[in-house]
C-alpha cells in the first residue's frame, strides 16, 4: 500500500492476512518505508522531466523545432518490484528493493533518430547527472526486434534533512520505435503461452520496417 499525496493511512491488525506471519509494527514500518521511497522516486522523476522540458524549450527557441514529441513516466508498483526481485533470484529483503534500478522510469519519445542522441548528450552534459548504465538497443537491437536507448542515471533530490541520489531509468525512442514496442508488448503480455516462431519473425520484420521508416524520415527532415 503506497500513499498518494495528502492521503493518510493507518495499518490495523485486521488488514494483515491470517496466513502472514508479520507483526503490526513490521507492517506499519513496511508501509512507511515504501511511502518514503515512492516520494523520493517521484521527486527524481520531476527533476528529470523538468530538465528534459527545459532542453526541449531551449531547442524550440533556438531552432524553431522540438526534438521531444512527448514524455511519460511511471513508478513501479510494489507488486512488480517484488516480481522483479523474484525473477532475478535476489533475496527477499529491503537491500534487494534498493537494487531495482527502474523503480522510477521516464520514457522520452522523440521525433527523429538523431534527436535521441541529441537529448542524451544534452542531459548527460549536466553536472548533477551521473550515468550508471547505458544500453543502446538501436545500434544493437534485442532478439525480439526491440529498439530504444536505455540509460540509468542518478539525479540528486534535495530534501529538508539531506540529499538523496536516486536512480531513474530513461528509455529514449522515436515515435516509430514506440509504436512497435507498445503493440508488441500488448501482443506478448495478453497471452500466457510463448509466441509462435513465425509470429515472432513477423514482429521482427515489422521492427525492421520501422527502422527503415526512421532512417527515411530522418533523411526527409534533413532535406527540408
Residue 63 or residue 191: which is nearer to ligand GTP going by CB? Answer: 191
Chain residues 147-176 in contact with ligand GTP, contact rule CB under 6 A? 150
Q: Which residue(s) pair with 158 in the sheet?
A: 163
| CA dist list (Å): 146 to 68, 130, 220 | 20, 26, 24
Q: Which residue(s) pair with 135 in the sheet?
A: 150
Q: CB of 167 within 8 A of CB of 104?
A: yes
Residue 17 or residue 91: which is nearer to ligand GTP going by CB? Answer: 91
Cell of 161: 534533512
Consecutive H or E run containing 58: helix 24-63
Any contact of residue 115 with Mg ion (CB under 5 A)?
A: no
* Binding letters toward ligand GTP, positions 106-135, x by CB under 6 A: -----------------------------x
Query: Which stretch, 114-122, 139-147, 156-164, 200-208, contacts ligand GTP (CB under 6 A)?
Result: 139-147
Nearest distance from C-beta of residue 105 to ligand GTP, angstroms: 8
Side-chain-side CA neighbours of 210 within 13 Å: the count stands at 24
Chain residues 87-106 in contact with Mg ion, contact rule CB under 5 A? 102
Residues contacting Mg ion: total by CB under 5 A: 1
Q: Which residue(s) pair with 57 in the sheet?
A: none
142 binds, among Mg ion, ligand GTP, none (CB under 5 to 8 A by kind): ligand GTP
Q: What are phi and psi of 77, to 5 degrees?
A: -75, 160
Residue 33 or residue 187: which is nearer to ligand GTP going by CB? Answer: 187
Q: What is the distance between the alpha carbons of residues 31 and 47, in angstroms, rounded to a whole number?
A: 24
Question: Which of 86, 134, 165, 185 is the binder for ligand GTP (CB under 6 A)?
Answer: 185
Chain residues 35-94 in contact with ligand GTP, contact rule CB under 6 A? 84
First-to-last alpha carbon distance for the chain, in angstroms, is 52
Residues at the contact surface with ligand GTP, assessed by CB under 6 A: 84, 102, 135, 142, 144, 146, 150, 181, 184-185
Amino acid at each position: 500500500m503506497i500513499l498518494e499525496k495528502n492521503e493518510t493511512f493507518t495499518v490495523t491488525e485486521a488488514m494483515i492476512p491470517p496466513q502472514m506471519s508479520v507483526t503490526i509494527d513490521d507492517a506499519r514500518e513496511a508501509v512507511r518505508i515504501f511511502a518514503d521511497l515512492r516520494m523520493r522516486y517521484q521527486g527524481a522523476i520531476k527533476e528529470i522531466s523538468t530538465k528534459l522540458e527545459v532542453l526541449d524549450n531551449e531547442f524550440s527557441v533556438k531552432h524553431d523545432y522540438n526534438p521531444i514529441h512527448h514524455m511519460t513516466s511511471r513508478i513501479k508498483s510494489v507488486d512488480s518490484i517484488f516480481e522483479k526481485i523474484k525473477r532475478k533470484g535476489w533475496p527477499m529483503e529491503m537491500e534487494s528493493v534498493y537494487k531495482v534500478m527502474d523503480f522510477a522510469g521516464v520514457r522520452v519519445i522523440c521525433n527523429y533518430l538523431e534527436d535521441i542522441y541529441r537529448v542524451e548528450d544534452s542531459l548527460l552534459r549536466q553536472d548533477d547527472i551521473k550515468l550508471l548504465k547505458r544500453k543502446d538497443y538501436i545500434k544493437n537491437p534485442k532478439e525480439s526486434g526491440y529498439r530504444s536507448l536505455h540509460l540509468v542515471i542518478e539525479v540528486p533530490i534535495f530534501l529538508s534533512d539531506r540529499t538523496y541520489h536516486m536512480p531513474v531509468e530513461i528509455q529514449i525512442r522515436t515515435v516509430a520505435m514506440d509504436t512497435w514496442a507498445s503493440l508488441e508488448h500488448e501482443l506478448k503480455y495478453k497471452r500466457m503461452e510463448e509466441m509462435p516462431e513465425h509470429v515472432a519473425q513477423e514482429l521482427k520484420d515489422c521492427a525492421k520496417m520501422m527502422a527503415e521508416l526512421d532512417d527515411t524520415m530522418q533523411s526527409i527532415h534533413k532535406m527540408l
